[in-house]
Amino acid sequence: MADFSDLEAVLKMAGQIKNEIPKIEVLLSNAGILKSKTSVNGDGLDIRIVVNYLAPMY
């Protein structure tokens, strides 16, 4: 599990998956955010862009 608004957490999760799972045959991403109490993440990036677009690409 990872907080998709935190790209560092996403990279950590991706590393864990890469080390623990030899092959991914199906990948589902249900990440998405429309409304949030804050408009930016800890890095000052728009939280919707990070969760909806950047994190899944990482």
CA atoms of 43 and 51, how far apart (whole Å): 13
CA atoms of 20 and 52, how far apart (whole Å): 25
Q: Are 34 and 48 within 8 A, CB to CB?
A: yes
Q: What was the pLDDT predicted at 37?
A: 83
Q: Are 47 and 32 within 8 A, CB to CB?
A: no
Per-residue pLDDT averaged across 7-33, rounded?
86
Tokens of 47: 């939280």
Instruction: Please identify which residue in the block is written with the tokens 């560092």.
Output: 8
Kindly tell me if the per-residue pLDDT of 21 is higher than 80.
yes
Percent of residues, the chain, with pLDDT higher than 90: 45
Give the predicted TM-score (pTM) of the model: 0.75
